[in-house]
């Protein structure tokens, strides 16, 4: 495999797009290799890099099936359920806490006498 072309930020030729641009158009790379890359220079660190894919070789995004929607709903519900008290917290439990706010800070609801 030879070296891929490198373009400066915003100077890529037409017909190439990033993954996000493909997704916004309802497409996916579809197994194709990276066609080129963009580099955006930064002052104190290495350049930001974005990989480009050929739009004509991109494939349509696969549609979500009923089973995939159901699995996604179960996964999101599990992120809201507190492992300690078993209640639905009403929000996604932060990984830093690992439990809902009342379980993480049980004394915050009481007023000191």
Task: For the chain, give every domain's residue range.
Answer: 6-60, 66-104
Mean pLDDT by 10 residues, the chain (113 residues): 86 94 96 95 92 97 96 96 94 94 80 51
Long-range residue pairs from 103-107, CB within 8 A, at least 24 positions apart, any chain: none
Tokens coding 20: 């996000």
pLDDT at 91: 94
Cβ atoms of residues 6 and 35 within 8 Å: no
Tokens coding 79: 């992120």
Question: Backbone dihedral region of 107: left (phi > 0), alpha (psi from -120 to 50 degrees) or beta?
Answer: alpha
User: Can you tell me the distance from the alpha carbon of 96 to that of 104, in angstroms, rounded to the nearest whole number?
Assistant: 10
């Amino acid at each position: 495999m030879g070296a891929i072309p490198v373009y400066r930020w915003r100077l890529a030729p037409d017909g190439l797009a990033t993954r996000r641009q493909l997704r916004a158009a309802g497409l996916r790379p579809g197994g194709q290799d990276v066609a080129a890359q963009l580099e955006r220079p930064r002052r104190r660190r290495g350049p930001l890099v974005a990989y480009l894919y050929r739009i004509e070789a991109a494939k349509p995004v696969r549609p979500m099936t009923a089973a995939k929607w159901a699995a996604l709903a179960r996964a999101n519900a599990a992120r809201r359920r507190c492992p300690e008290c078993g209640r639905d917290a009403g929000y996604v439990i932060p990984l830093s806490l690992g439990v809902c706010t009342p379980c993480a800070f049980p004394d915050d609801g009481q007023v000191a006498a």
